[in-house]
Each structure stands twice: as structure tokens, then as C-alpha cells.
Amino acid sequence: MRHRVKLWTVFTLAVALLAPACGRDAATPKAKSGGTVAFGLLHDPFTLDGALAVSIPSFMAVSQIFETLVRTEPGTTRVAPRLARSWESADGRTWTFHLQTGVRFHDGTPLDAAAVCFNFERWYHFTGLLQTSAKWQYVFGAFATPSDQAPPETLYGGCEARAADQVVLRLTRPYGGLLAALTQPAFGIASPDALRRYDADHMSGSKEAPVFDSPFGTEHPIGTGPFRFKSWVRNERLEVVRNDDYWAGRPGPDRIIFRPIPDGTARRQAVQSGEIQGYAPVDAGDVSLLRDNGIRLVELPALNTGVVGLNLARPPLDNLKVREAIAHALNRDAMVKAKFPAGTEVASQLIPPALPGHGADVPEYRYDPDLAKRLLAESGVSSPTLEFSYPTYSPGQSEPLLPDAEGMFLAFKADLERAGFRVTPKPTPWADYYNRALRNGEVQVFIAGLGAGRPSPEELFTNLEVKNPALGFDNQDVMGTLRQAKTEVDADKQAALYQKVNRALMESLLMVPYAHVKVYFALSPKVDGFAVSAAGSDPDFTAVRFT
């Protein structure tokens, strides 16, 4: 049996193209292929080796060069074929993928089952710095060589090339989220010859400041994708050109040029002037302005949650009533209205409505400063002081869940002080905030974003499984339910388990959710045929034409 959808619920979430190109009248000029698409990114990619990439801008570029076994169908969260034309699994533990035939890497070598298994074995055997940067651990857990950063057990049980076009992937336990996980650009299949020839596993720097300097990831990224690597001038432009031998048909554009434009206003002005033909993400305050000026917007459903994190290992946050007082003290409605675009949903739970596990039977904490004061009095903690961490200005400032980190902090600080807390600010540079402060638990109260890079709530909770002292949470019952949810192959039962996790975490209050934010791509009205999945990390330019 092929494509057993029982293994993953098929959620069809429409990606609303607010000014769609389809349905044009006869007077509209016919779209033409060829030309150059200039696309603005939040920042320069860190590396073009998807297995090591850690940011959406990096994945946007990587997904043009490399392809995954399966993909998320544009406009939905539905898993669809890509390098694998079909697949089957009777138990959620042994998966057989049937590959497309006649596919070649950009270096001319064939894509076959042995090449696919080479990639999986490479990822599994990462060591040292490679382990700290790899997405592998968030899906498959442990590496072949133990790591203190990854879960102790591995999901990976091996890969077998049963035939040239048949890959058997074995897991150590059933896993209902495998297909959704493999849609991510991090699992793009690379040429084994290129990986060996261009020293793909070379990496320097430190865990806190890794340097992605492998020749493979900087000068010779070779996959099977619709575009080939051409050149990269760091922090200026990355150019990929059409792969005329692409197995799925000739792509439309001659080339794509990715330009890092950290400032949101500069990105908006660049697309309005025609300097670029599109960009993402769109800053919160620019949505209406772009729409009013004729720029087309692609709207993605919210697969994310902004949270105020509470480190239970840092007193007085080990006191539940103190945490409840914080939750009731935060005026999230007012903050979202002030800082986020219209349409942003005030979050009442950790799992957004678009994902399984969001449900009615989950505790909510309405804004009630008087109740917050009573709970604080009942806690027995007198005039508690909270050290509140937030990132200072950086390119990441434009990330949708943190449009104005300092302004958000100031709003929450005022709320907490009205309830009787003393608040000490701890601003931290963006890179240090995520690479050191959160990872090492150097925080007490903090703001952050949880994002699902695939159509599953699993990724929202990976920081609970990978050792993360920022939360100070070690509830084995919740961890057990989370592990059970990942193992469950029945979609309805899996959703019920995620709802149980959602409910337990809201009862424990290690995170107070504040917003679910839609992500927008901005496009010139002259661009037709652009597509992107709900995850937003894999823009598809293959059908792009210019009107």
C-alpha cells in the first residue's frame, strides 16, 4: 500500500494569495519565462549545507539546490512526493521509499538508493561541532557518537539500498511524524562524491560561535534541485542558476539572486522600487502598507507561538503561584494589539490552532491584575525580583514573533510591576541571547519564539527533549507522553496525546504564550507562479514567470 495517510493526518491549510495571479482577464499580458528573480532575505545564509543550516533564510537558499525525499505540497501541509515517488510502511517503523528514476546530481552522478543512504549515514555519524549545528538530533535523537546536547536514544536504525531505486529506512521504534520531518530542507540529499571531494564535514570555531567554512557548504553545494550554485559574495549576494537538466522539467527563471537585507524598511522599499521582486519575512507594520501599494502578499498560516519563558530552576519561579501570578499579570491582548499586525491571534495555549493538539480542554490565564496580586500574596514570596532577558537589536529583530523585543519587554515589565513584581532588565545581543544565554540557562524570565518547521507540533517541544537549562523542567510524566505522541502512528490518537502535553505544560506554566503570528511573503505584481509551503522555508520558484 502506498502513501498511507493514516501515518500522518492530512491537514489542508490554505495559503491565501491575497492578490492571486490566476483568473486574469484576456487583457492581462501573457507571462514570460526567463529573467532574474532578486529575492531579499533577512540575513545571509550561514551555510549552504542544509544538514548544518539553522535558519529559515539559509533553508530558503538551500531548498533551491537540494531536494528532499518528500516535500510539503505548496499551499498546504500535505506531504507529497519529491525524490521519492512513493513510499509505504506497515508499522511506522520500517519505511520503504521508491525513488524517481533518471535523476542526476548537478555533478552528473546518479541519484540512487546508495546515495540516499550515504547521506543518512553521514548525518548519523556527525561528531564534535557538527552535532551542535545539525537538525538531526531534533528528529532522530542521538548520534552514533554520544553527545551531551542530544537525547540519549536514537530513532535511527539504519538505511539499506535494497535496489537502485528502493531505499529502506529502519527506525528503532514507530514514528508517526517521519514524513513531515523529512520535508524539511535540512534533509536534502547531496551528492556523495561532492561531500567527499569538498570536505563537507570540516567545521571550525566553537560551540558558541561555529564557523561554517567547509568548501562544500560555501563553494560547491551539489544537489539535484532546480537551480545550481553559481557564486556567493558573503553578505552581498548569492546567485543560483537554472538547472537545464532538472528531472521535473525546465524551471522558469534563468537565475535567482538572494540578497541579505536586514532592515525591514529597506526590504519593503526595495520591492516597491523594483530593485527586488520579492522578500520574506514582511515586518509586522508593513503588511497593510504593502497591500495598499499593490504589492502581492502570500499569507502563511501561523505554525508558531511566542512565549514568555519561565525558568523553573531559578527561584522564585519554582513556586507555581508565582508563575500563575505572572501569567495573569501579562496584558497580552494589549501588547499584541500594539506590536503586531491585524490578524495576529493572541495565544492562549502553546500549540497554535493550525496544528493537532490545540484543543478546548486546556487551561487559560486571562489578564487579571487583581488576581495576579492575590496569587502573589498567596505564594508567600514578598516583593519578588525577576530578571527579564530579551534580545537587543539585530537582524533577528524582524522575526515575526519578536517585531520589537525591547518594546515588548517594556510592556510586560509595566504589567509585572503593577502586579507587585520588581523587574530587572537583561538586554543581550541577539547571537549571545540564543547561542549562549538560553542554551546555558543564564536566564530567569525571557521572551522567545517556538516554531514548527513542519506540519506537526513536535518541533514546538524539542527544547524539552534536548537538554535545555533555560526552562529547568524535568517532568518525566510529560516527557513520557511526549515520547508516546512521537511514537503513535494513528493520527487521531497522536493528536490526543499532543493535546495532553499541551494541557500539562499549560498547567505547569513553564511558558506563557502570547501570540500566533502569520508569516507573509511580499511579491512584485509582475511575478506569477510563485509557491511556498505552510512552513515558509522552501519557496518554489520553478514555475515563476514575469508578466
Distance of CA 203 to the CA centre of its chain: 23
- 364 & 459 share domain: yes
Do 248 and 309 sit in the same domain of this protein? no
Per-residue cell: 542: 520553478
Those residues with Cβ within 8 angstroms of residue 77's Cβ, 6 or more apart along the chain or in another chain: 10, 11, 12, 13, 180, 354, 455, 533, 534, 535
Q: Which pLDDT value is given to residue 456?
A: 82
Query: Are 503 and 530 in a shared domain?
Result: no
* Contact assessment for residue 347 and residue 516, using Cβ atoms and an 8 Å cutoff: yes
Whether 22 is in a domain gets the answer no
Q: Is 90 exposed, middle or buried (0-12, 13-18, 19+ CB in 10 A)?
A: exposed
Listed as ranges, residues in the chain with pLDDT below 50 are 1-28, 395-398
Could you tell me if residue 17 is inside a domain? no
Query: Are residues 379 and 282 part of one domain?
Result: no
pLDDT of residue 138: 82
**DSSP annotation string for 59-95:** HHHHHHH-B-SEEEPTTSS-EEESSEEEEE-SSSSEE
* 454 and 353 belong to one structural domain: yes
4 lies in a domain?
A: no
Q: Rounded to whole angstroms, how far apart are CA atoms 293 and 368?
A: 40
- Asked if residue 336 and residue 189 are part of one domain, the reply reads no
Query: Does residue 218 form part of some domain?
Result: yes
The alpha carbon of 126 is separated from its chain's Cα centroid by a whole number of angstroms, namely: 21
pLDDT in tens, 164-190: 999 999 999 999 889 989 999 999 999
Q: What Cα–Cα distance (Å) separates residue 3 from each residue in 12, 80, 175?
A: 16, 9, 15
Neighbours of 106 (CB within 10 A): 22
Residues ≥6 apart with Cβ < 8 Å to 149:
131, 132, 137, 466, 467
Q: What angle do CA 281, 283, 284 make, to 5 degrees?
A: 125
CB atoms within 10 A of CB 327: 25
pLDDT tens figures, 245-290: 999 999 999 999 999 999 889 999 999 999 999 999 888 779 889 9
**What secondary structure letter does DSSP report for 437?**
I
Regarding whether 469 and 512 lie in a shared domain, the answer is: yes
Alpha helices in 199-286 (DSSP H): 215-218, 264-273
Task: Looking at the structure, tell me whether residues 37 and 171 fall in a common domain.
Answer: yes
Strand, helix or coil for residue 193: helix
The answer to the question of residue 217 being in a domain is yes
Based on the fold, state whether residues 344 and 489 are members of the same structural domain.
yes
| Reported pTM | 0.79
Count of structural domains within the chain: 2
- Determine, yes or no, domain membership for 112: yes
Residue 426 three-state SS: strand
One domain, residues 422 and 445 = yes
Q: Is residue 359 part of a domain?
A: yes
The CATH number linked to 359 is 3.10.105.10
**pLDDT computed for residue 16 by the predictor:** 31
> Whole-angstrom Cα distance, residue 468 to residue 463?
6
Quick one: pLDDT at residue 458? 86
Q: Range of 154's domain?
A: 31-299+520-546
Q: Is 316 found in the same domain as 234?
A: no
pLDDT tens by residue, 49-91: 999 998 889 999 999 999 999 998 886 768 899 999 999 999 9
Q: Identify the CATH number of the domain in which residue 101 sits.
A: 3.40.190.10
Helical axes 320-329 vs 369-379, angle rounded to 10° = 160
Please provide residue 449's backbone torsions phi and psi, each rounded to the nearest 5 degrees: -120, 140
Same domain, 54 and 95: yes
